[in-house]
Amino acid sequence: MFSRCFSVLAIACQKEYYIRTLGVFMEEKAKKQKTNEPVSPLMERLVSLAKRRGFIYAGSEIYGGLGGTWDYGPLGVELKNNIKKEWWKRFVSYRRDMYGIDSSILMNSKVWEASGHLKNFVDPMVDCKKCKGRFRADKIDVSSGCPTCGAKDFTEARPFNMMFKTHAGPVEDSGAEVYLRPETAQGMFVNFKNVIDSFHPKLPFGIAQIGKAFRNEITPGNFIFRTREFEQMEIEYFIKPGGWESQFDYWLGEMRKWTEFLGIAKGVSEREVSAEDRAHYSKRTIDIDFEFPFGKEELYGLAYRTDFDLKNHIEKSGIDLVYYNEETKKKLVPHVIEPTFGVDRTMLAVLLNSFAEEEVKEGEIRAVLKFPARLAPVKVAVFPLVSNKENILAKAEEVHGRLKESIDSVRWDDIGNIGKRYRRQDEIGTPWCVTVDYQTLEDGTVTVRDRDTMKQERIAAGELAGYFHKKLSQ
């Protein structure tokens, strides 16, 4: 969680391998090789595949990149959208106690005063006096020297506010200062009364949103793990004061189930965050860590935010952000349990977890992304066995056209031989490939090849949509 205080300077954390842009990635790799430190081959190959196959590109790459920014390519955006779509279905659409919103990134600066971010949203920063490199004091081992030049001459640690500041309107005076939101959560708190007035929900209920957040991280790195612009999927779950523990446990359980759905549960562990490391608003936090190649790091967080936010907004705005309890005929300020999920870290965990290189025949390796089918950017690829036979092409086009109507993201592929097409689809994680061949013309069946088992079976073309729907609902 954020808001690390000065005292953590003393804590020697594990080495972090920062990848700012692809350029910096290669530079650091060269540096590590010189010092014989191991680079993470898995991460390196994943970064390369992600770029080659159109998942993730370095931000502003043609200008040498911009630290802490990455762009999602055609397949990356599909994967990301599928993650968000599944999250929204599970935590918002399928629940009767959840209200989804989409609030502005720019908010009145008083929001950040009330939330405590102007004062507390700080990381401890040190500068290397020799090379002028800047580091997060809690993320480097200061006693081992500067990670860039090795010098052991640092400035004192000082707090650095991570909010990006800009100005609303043409006049850049202090009255026009606004901040890019560092968390989506405050959108839920400032709309608490609006949601109550529109829907009159009964406690407990939640407000959720998915959206961009911005943090001027001192040391972004590790590919899309720590960036300056990222997306969050957050829930503020409002409960009666008292008895928060059972709600906290319930949400921990829901978060575990989500990691199971993503297929990453095996790499996940839970960590109680100590009082000095907890964010300023939290009375209890459990971080859900994932075993990344660069170490065990925070994937998600679950916090008991008490009534901290609503109370402060009541005080600063003068608006009565209370809940009227029909049973007791009394007003109360609800408390809040907050499950928070980073979209980009989910992407990274899913990509790492799905990535495999397997020997299919002697000397022949296939790279494959074994995404859960519902997350796969392409669900089904349709191939005509040969592309110079009119009747096969026409039949394949008919199969492709019909499937497209009922299954999301069906692709056409007729380039190269079937083996090459399978390898290409494996690399982008397509769960099923359908081939229309000579037998199709005789008996109306096609081959369906499974990405993970590589087994093929014959299915009647007319039954394909039902077959895939069943698989996708498993």
Query: For binding to ligand GAP (CB under 6 A), which residues are involved?
Result: 1-2, 183, 185, 215, 217, 226-227, 230, 232, 234, 298-301, 338, 340, 342, 344-345
Q: Which is nearer to ligand GAP, 215 or 421 (CB)?
A: 215
Query: Minimum Å distance from CB 119 to ligand GAP?
Result: 16
What does the angle CA 118 – CA 224 – CA 411 come to, to the nearest 5 degrees? 130
Q: Which is nearer to ligand GAP, 2 or 261 (CB)?
A: 2
Query: Minimum Å distance from CB 470 to ligand GAP?
Result: 33
In this chain, which residue has its C-beta nearest to ligand GAP?
342
Three-class SS state of 102: coil
Interatomic CA distance for residues 418 and 434, integer angstroms: 11
Query: Minimum Å distance from CB 116 to ligand GAP?
Result: 12
Q: 468-471, long-range: CB within 8 Å, 24+ apart, which pairs?
A: 468/379, 468/380, 468/403, 468/407, 468/432, 469/406, 469/407, 471/373, 471/431, 471/432
Interatomic CA distance for residues 227 and 347, integer angstroms: 13
Q: DSSP letter at 265?
A: G
Q: Which is nearer to ligand GAP, 164 or 250 (CB)?
A: 164
Number of H helices and E strands in the chain, helices first, is 14, 24
Query: Minimum Å distance from CB 320 to ligand GAP?
Result: 24
Q: Which is nearer to ligand GAP, 287 or 426 (CB)?
A: 287
Query: Minimum Å distance from CB 139 to ligand GAP?
Result: 12
Interatomic CA distance for residues 156 and 6, integer angstroms: 10
Q: What are phi and psi of 242, to 5 degrees?
A: 90, 140
Q: Which is nearer to ligand GAP, 189 or 371 (CB)?
A: 189
Interatomic CA distance for residues 67 and 137, integer angstroms: 19
Q: Which is nearer to ligand GAP, 145 or 159 (CB)?
A: 159
Three-class SS state of 3: coil
Pairing of the two strands 122-127 and 134-136: antiparallel
Query: Minimum Å distance from CB 143 to ligand GAP?
Result: 26
Q: Which is nearer to ligand GAP, 139 or 451 (CB)?
A: 139
Query: Minimum Å distance from CB 231 to ligand GAP?
Result: 8
The region that residue 453 occupies, defined by phi over 0 for left and psi between -120 and 50 for alpha, beta otherwise, is alpha
Q: Which is nearer to ligand GAP, 346 or 445 (CB)?
A: 346
Query: Minimum Å distance from CB 287 to ligand GAP?
Result: 7
Interatomic CA distance for residues 139 and 217, integer angstroms: 12
